[in-house]
A and B are shown apart, each in its own frame.
Chain A
Amino acid sequence: MDFKFDIEGGNFSKAGTASSDVKKVLKKLNVDPKLIKRIVVSIYEAEVNVVAHAYEGEMNVSIFPEKIIVRIVDKGPGIPDIDLAMQKGYSTASPEVREMGFGAGMGLPNIKKNTNELNIKSEVGVGTEIELINYLN
């Protein structure tokens, strides 16, 4: 089962709509609520990252009997140093993003905490692709 959601860069009034839609789908499928929370917290963090840093992006959700794979691909500045970006407290967020309650350098570490597998690919000046895999059992 596959779903695709668009993400608009820079538009904080819409940030979270894709993650909210995914949450509704997972609830309808009777996925364990604790797992739903882990998944939607991590994809919401990723969605906010796209809104905060990129021009546009999309979220692709694939649901299998044993796992859920979410791929979030954006067109944006990319991440020059992924290891540095994974460190708690490191952030390049703008003051506007901080005013919204984000940009404290906690997003990527929290995504990692809430996923079974996290894969990040990024090219400077092109964009970033992150893949989050959560197993259902």
Chain B
Amino acid sequence: MVKVSQILDELNAQIVCGNADLNQDIDFGFASDLMSDVLTIDSDNLLLVTGLNNLQTIRTSEMSDIEYILLVRDKKTSEEMKELAEESGITIIECSYSMFRTCSLLCNMGLEPVY
């Protein structure tokens, strides 16, 4: 379990949209650039770690009840993505670390894998 504030601190990351509660605990992490994979996940309270920065990342998260997306590899959030994320109650966080480094740090912090 990891707090949103810990993610921001440890990954030198920034929230770019959404009204995140910095004290909220997140249980699970799942990393993928393949949205088809994300749609197969049943776990709740999950952080999606991805380098795919398009509208379907937000749509997939909306359908999967994912409230937190962490964009890695310095990928940027477009205005369209921000609008859709705000509408869907999704917080987007950006960080410049690689997927591997990000996942390694999140794992050490106590974020659980879904399987």
Determine if B40 and A106 form an interchain contact, defined as CB atoms under 8 angstroms apart.
yes
Determine if A33 and B65 form an interchain contact, defined as CB atoms under 8 angstroms apart.
yes
Contact A100:B63 (CB < 8 A) given known A106-B37, A106-B40: no
Kindly identify which residue among B38, B39, B59 contacts A15, using a CB–CB cutoff of 8 Å.
B59
Interface bits B32-66 vs A (CB < 8 Å: 1, else 0): 01111111100000000000101111011011110
A91 vs B100: C-alpha distance when bound (angstroms): 28
Is A76 in the interface zone, CB < 8 Å from B? no
Question: Across the A-B interface, how many residue pairs have beta carbons closer than 8 Å?
Answer: 67
User: Using Cβ atoms and an 8 Å threshold, which residues of chain A touch B10?
Assistant: none
Determine if B56 and A15 form an interchain contact, defined as CB atoms under 8 angstroms apart.
yes
Total interface residues in chain A, CB < 8 Å? 23
Kindly identify which residue among A19, A102, A106 contacts B63, using a CB–CB cutoff of 8 Å.
A19
Is B80 in the interface zone, CB < 8 Å from A? yes
Is A87 in the interface zone, CB < 8 Å from B? no
User: Using Cβ atoms and an 8 Å threshold, which residues of chain B touch A104?
Assistant: 34, 36-37
Is A60 in the interface zone, CB < 8 Å from B? no
Determine if A37 and B57 form an interchain contact, defined as CB atoms under 8 angstroms apart.
no
Determine if B63 and A101 form an interchain contact, defined as CB atoms under 8 angstroms apart.
no
User: Using Cβ atoms and an 8 Å threshold, which residues of chain A touch B88?
Assistant: 20
Determine if A101 and B62 form an interchain contact, defined as CB atoms under 8 angstroms apart.
no
Name the interface size band of chain B: 20 to 34
Kindly identify which residue among A13, A33, A37, A110 contacts B36, using a CB–CB cutoff of 8 Å.
A110
Is A71 in the interface zone, CB < 8 Å from B? no
Kindly identify which residue among B36, B37, B63, B65 contacts A16, using a CB–CB cutoff of 8 Å.
B63
User: Using Cβ atoms and an 8 Å threshold, which residues of chain B touch A16?
Assistant: 55-56, 59-60, 62-63
A37 vs B38: C-alpha distance when bound (angstroms): 13
Determine if B62 and A20 form an interchain contact, defined as CB atoms under 8 angstroms apart.
yes
A44 vs B58: C-alpha distance when bound (angstroms): 12
What are 19 sample pairs from A and B whose C-beta atoms fall under 8 A apart? A12-B55, A16-B62, A20-B59, A20-B63, A23-B62, A33-B65, A37-B63, A44-B59, A44-B60, A100-B54, A101-B33, A101-B35, A101-B38, A101-B57, A101-B60, A102-B34, A102-B36, A104-B37, A110-B36
Q: Give residues in A with beta carbon < 8 Å to B.
A: 12-13, 15-16, 19-20, 23, 33, 37, 40-41, 44-45, 48, 100-104, 106-107, 110, 113
